[in-house]
Amino acid sequence: MNFKNNQVSLSLIDLKDQTFRITTETGIDDILDSIKNVGLINPPILIKKKSKYTIICGFRRIAACRILGLLNIEAKIPVSNANELDCLKFAIIDNSLQRPLNLIEQSRALFMLSGFFKDITSLADAASSLGLPRNPSLVKKIINICHLPSLIQNCILSNIISLSMAVELGKLEKNAEITFTEIFNDLKLGLNKQRELMTLINEISLRENIPVMKVIQESDFQEILQNDEIDRTKKTEKLRFYLKKRRYPSITRAEQKFEELVRKLKLGNNMKLIPPKNFEGNTFIIKLHFNNLKDLQDHADTLKEILQNSTFRKQVSGVGDQEKLPTPDA
């Protein structure tokens, strides 16, 4: 498409029309300095709609020119009639040439493009020619991110929420996605901890047949969450323990009994007793660290004492009888 450069009055540009806005950037200090010192090097692209102009690309440049008090600016105007898809492509290319598009910008671009293609494969093919992801499954994940609440989008931009977690948040019941995001943000949780908390809460919801928000709003959970006397790390551990105890009561009881047993056995730093995973099965592991034969002999003496410990013998013989791990819908 060919363009001609015209002088356009800023008063004729429709600032409310955000049809082709891709960028999430709002700051214009860098552009202000550039225009003030060397002028508008890269004119924005505009399209005439009746008596006004719609911005195809150059939202921040135009905002900077208004702040600088300019009355007219140079702009690129399509010589022939440009359809909406052509305009959108120019908007995407103009933004991607300045810097790599972030996840929200990719989502905006893909969503706008999706209105012109019948299936995800055709959309992905068209997107790849504009520098966007071409994998259809990835496009499918990204495309609706731009419709998530602004808090989640901001957390995505600040790398608190990943793409995979954003997809999971988008599946939640109304208001739950915001609440989870607030928890993740306040506690500064990494992806693994985010997944663990979300999984435990979702499974409790299914197991007890109650809404996810009811699990989060219950007093025990909120008491931990709102306790300002403990730091984020301690708060996270307390929440995990509370949720695990509620989700897996029999395993939590077994863990507590085992920890008490280990304390009574006084194994020291160089011997570690490891129970079966989830206390299912009968295989225990003992790890020994020694530097010489005397250390090894001391371990042997400790093992003899352990074998004579009635509490230990009872715990080992009863492990296989632990209640089976319940399924989420149990």
Q: Examine the pLDDT at 329 and tell me if it is beyond 70.
A: no
Q: How do residues 141-198 score in pLDDT, each as one tens digit?
A: 999 999 999 999 999 999 999 999 999 999 988 789 999 999 999 999 999 999 999 9
Q: Domains of the chain: which residue ranges?
A: 1-99, 100-147, 148-247, 264-321
Range list of H helices, 83-218: 84-98, 103-114, 120-128, 136-142, 150-157, 163-169, 176-187, 191-208, 212-217
Q: Are 27 and 63 in contact (CB under 8 A)?
A: no
Q: Using one digit for the tens of pLDDT, what is the confidence trace for 230-289?
A: 999 999 999 998 998 888 877 767 777 888 888 888 888 898 988 887 676 778 888 999
> Strand, helix or coil at 155?
helix
Return d(Cα 330, Cα 312) in angstroms, integer: 31
- What is the model's pTM? 0.73
**Model pLDDT, residue 30:** 86
CA angle 261, 263, 264 (to 5 degrees): 65
Q: What is the DSSP string of 35-100?
A: HHHH--SSPPEEEEETTEEEEEE-HHHHHHHHHTT-SEEEEEEESSPPPHHHHHHHHHHHHHHHS-
C-alpha neighbours within 13 Å on the C-beta side of residue 292: 1
Report the share of the chain in percent with pLDDT over 90.
63
Q: What is the CATH number of domain 1-99?
A: 3.90.1530.10
Where does residue 163 fall: left (phi above 0), alpha (psi -120 to 50 degrees), or beta otherwise?
A: alpha
Backbone torsion region of residue 124, taken as left when φ is above 0, otherwise alpha when ψ lies between -120 and 50, otherwise beta: alpha
For residue 308, give both structure tokens: 């004579």
